[in-house]
């Protein structure tokens, strides 16, 4: 009887060993995550925009003011500008708010800006960057179908002027000049 108990115990131990070995051999090691390449844009050519700027422009016979604050966003992949302009004429009863994000696309070699506003507007602009003290930007897409460009001129690290020309889908051409000063 003692031999049968030992034999049974041995068989149970063997069965458990085989089962444990099967479980071990059927186990699959978890795959290591694949690293995602993360190229950081070189924002050195645009760093002067960091901070707060106060701007003015003539629009429909009135002076439109706005305050633009630029900070780094989305883990350093974008510079984000929050732009607020209070109502300045009979067509606006609330602040005009625009949030835009700029980054550098190394494939197209263009600075790309994506923006949205609180009136449902959106736009995508591109620019090859600075040429001396000017930077020309082209409107690639906008919600109203307008096209155009603007030329930003850096007067100093704290002063710019921006001249824009847009053409609406109806063919109407609008020009504007915005003067900005950095305050912080």
Domain range summary for the chain, segments of one domain joined by +: 44-182
User: Per-residue confidence at 13, pLDDT binned at 50, 70, 90?
Assistant: very low
Q: Would you give the end-to-end CA distance of the chain in angstroms?
A: 94
What is the C-alpha separation between 69 and 112, in angstroms, rounded?
18
What is the C-alpha separation between 128 and 28, in angstroms, rounded?
50
Classify 44-182 by CATH class.
Answer: mainly beta
Question: Tell me: the pLDDT tens digits for 83-96?
Answer: 999 987 777 789 99
Please tell me the predicted confidence (pLDDT) of residue 21: 53
Per the CB < 8 A criterion, the answer to whether 102 and 111 are in contact is: yes
Higher pLDDT: 114 or 90? It is: 114
pTM flag (> 0.85)? no
**Cβ burial, residue 36 (10 Å; 0-12/13-18/19+):** exposed
User: Per-residue confidence at 144, pLDDT binned at 50, 70, 90?
Assistant: confident
- Per DSSP, 17 falls in state H
Strand runs (DSSP E) across 44-95, as ranges?
51-59, 62-73, 78-85
| 135: number of Cβ within 10 Å | 20
Per the CB < 8 A criterion, the answer to whether 98 and 113 are in contact is: no
| 159: number of Cβ within 10 Å | 13
Please tell me the predicted confidence (pLDDT) of residue 8: 44
Question: Tell me: the pLDDT tens digits for 19-75?
Answer: 455 445 556 677 887 777 778 899 999 999 999 999 999 877 788 899 999 999 999
Per the CB < 8 A criterion, the answer to whether 65 and 54 are in contact is: yes
Residue 4 has pLDDT above 60, yes or no: no
What is the C-alpha separation between 145 and 136, in angstroms, rounded?
20
Per the CB < 8 A criterion, the answer to whether 54 and 47 are in contact is: no
Q: Of how many residues is the chain composed?
A: 184
Residue 172 has pLDDT above 80, yes or no: yes
Higher pLDDT: 26 or 174? It is: 174
Average pLDDT over the chain, rounded to an integer: 85
């Amino acid at each position: 009887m003692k031999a049968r108990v030992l034999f049974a115990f041995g068989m149970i131990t063997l069965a458990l060993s085989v089962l444990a070995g099967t479980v071990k051999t059927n186990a699959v090691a978890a795959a290591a995550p694949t690293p995602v390449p993360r190229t950081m844009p070189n924002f050195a050519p645009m760093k002067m925009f960091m901070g707060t700027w106060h701007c003015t422009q003539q629009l429909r016979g009135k002076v439109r003011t706005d305050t633009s604050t630029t900070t780094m966003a989305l883990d350093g992949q974008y510079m984000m500008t929050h732009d607020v302009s209070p109502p300045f004429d009979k067509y606006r009863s609330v602040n005009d708010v625009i949030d835009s994000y700029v980054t550098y696309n190394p494939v197209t070699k263009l600075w790309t800006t994506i923006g949205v506003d609180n009136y449902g507007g959106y736009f995508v602009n591109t620019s090859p960057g600075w040429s001396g003290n000017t930077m020309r930007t082209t409107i690639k897409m906008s919600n109203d179908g307008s096209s155009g460009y603007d030329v930003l001129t850096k007067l100093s690290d704290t002063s710019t002027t921006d001249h824009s020309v847009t053409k609406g889908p109806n063919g109407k051409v609008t020009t504007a000049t915005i003067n900005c000063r950095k305050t912080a």
